[in-house]
Amino acid sequence: MEKPSAIGRVGKVIAIVVIAVLTIYPFLTVISTSLSDSTDIANANGLVLFPLHPTLAAYQTIFAGGVVTAALLRSIVITVVGTILSLAATVGMAYGLSRRDLVFGKFILLVALFTMLFSPGIIPSFLMVKQLGLLDSYASLILPVLISAFNLVVVRSFFMNLPQELFEAARIDGAGDFRILTTVVLPLSKGVLAVVGLFYAVAYWNAFFNAMLYLNSDKWPLAMILRQYVLLGSPLNTATAGEISAPSQAIQMAVVVISLVPILLVYPFLQKYFTKGVLTGAVKG
């Protein structure tokens, strides 16, 4: 390859700097606004880049009322349980569909792929959840979206590209499908499982529309509370009389920060698997 010219190197540096600024600026303004008082917010017309009078009043206001804390715990439980169940169901179905001797395997795969092209719609989905008796239960946020067709295809493609000699050797030793899956396939699939698990976790964590349809307000997860704050300011009583209060803009941004922190803490540990897992499952096969 030819050595890039000076103009090319300068252009790359400029492009990287521009992308970095466009990426960091929103995070910085959100965090800074959440730490600002009313004076800083008024002087900056709503979005503060560097708070001159930093304060934690917004976070104290949020956690004093208990609404956000309870919603945060609900979101954590929903995300953890949903991700585990979705991974288990996706891995089991992907392993079965990756076996070439599965009866009606192609038909089942086509049915799964069909769901990527056509969604049932809001009214049919609501009627199905209602008929199953899942209204106002957290199962309504998990069971209807338990398996993602895209994630299923990614995991299936990965399984199909594993060396077939490993499966043959395990069967010669008398291992069944469940033992092959748990002792042979899963230890070799940490990368793709980490990526798919991240996809599921982010989807469960950020989902609010199903909660708005199926749950009462006393069971809302954090994403729904965040939506209420952003759209309506501060619709919930997070602070009682005599407690610390903060500007509505600071409270809104503080809720955004709280909703971002768990994903930001998990993502760095899975980043090294991200590109490898996606490319292995999507390109091969």
Distance CA 91, CA 146 (A): 12
Q: What is the pLDDT of residues 119-132, one digit of tens each?
A: 788 888 899 899 98
Residue 284 has a pLDDT of 45
Per-domain residue ranges of the chain:
1-55, 56-283
240 pLDDT tier (thresholds 50, 70, 90): very low
Burial of 278 (0-12, 13-18, 19+ CB in 10 A): middle
94 and 155 in contact (C-beta within 8 Å)? yes
Buried b (16+ CB within 10 A) or exposed e, 35-64: bbbbebbeebeebbeebeeebebbbbbbbb
Residue 90 has a pLDDT of 94
Q: What is the mean pLDDT of residues 246-254?
A: 80
**Weakest mean pLDDT among 53-62, 83-92, 181-190:** 53-62
Q: What is the pLDDT of residues 210-224, one digit of tens each?
A: 898 998 888 889 888
pLDDT at 67 over 60: yes
142 pLDDT tier (thresholds 50, 70, 90): very high
User: Residue 264 corresponds to which tokens in the numbers above?
Assistant: 């930001």
- CATH assignment of 56-283? 1.10.3720.10
Residue 82 has a pLDDT of 95
Residue 204 has a pLDDT of 93
Q: What is the pLDDT of residues 165-195, one digit of tens each?
A: 888 888 888 888 888 888 888 888 888 888 8
Distance CA 253, CA 234 (A): 11
pLDDT at 101 over 60: yes
Residue 11 has a pLDDT of 87
DSSP 164-199: HHHHHHHHHTT--HHHHIIIIIGGG-HHHHHHHHHH
274 pLDDT tier (thresholds 50, 70, 90): low
